[in-house]
Amino acid sequence: MRFRIERGGSFLFEAELRRAMDLIAKGAVDLPLLVTATLPLDSAEEAFQPASDRTQSMKVQLCLPRLTGALQ
């Protein structure tokens, strides 16, 4: 079984996203410092509250449920 992840959106900074991904891959960015909150996917609606207030948060991430056997 194979899984594929696609990224997309209505507005995408292609060059900036590629640069950010390169910096993350090199370990040049301390990601935990940027993440204000981590919520389970089933709390996605709740996550919009802190994410919409830039004075209180920088990034709010959603955790996807683990897929049985996904990485085997």
Q: Residue 57 CB: number of other CB atoms within 10 A?
A: 15
**Torsion 32-37-40-45 (CA) sign:** negative
- Name the pTM for this structure: 0.52
> Which pLDDT value is given to residue 72?
43
- pLDDT tens-digit map of 6-64: 766 666 677 888 898 899 899 998 888 888 888 898 998 888 888 888 888 888 888 88
Q: Using an 8 Å Cβ cutoff, are 64 and 3 in contact?
A: no
DSSP label of 62: E
Question: What backbone torsions phi and psi does residue 50 show, to the nearest 5 degrees?
Answer: -70, -30
> Which pLDDT value is given to residue 32?
85
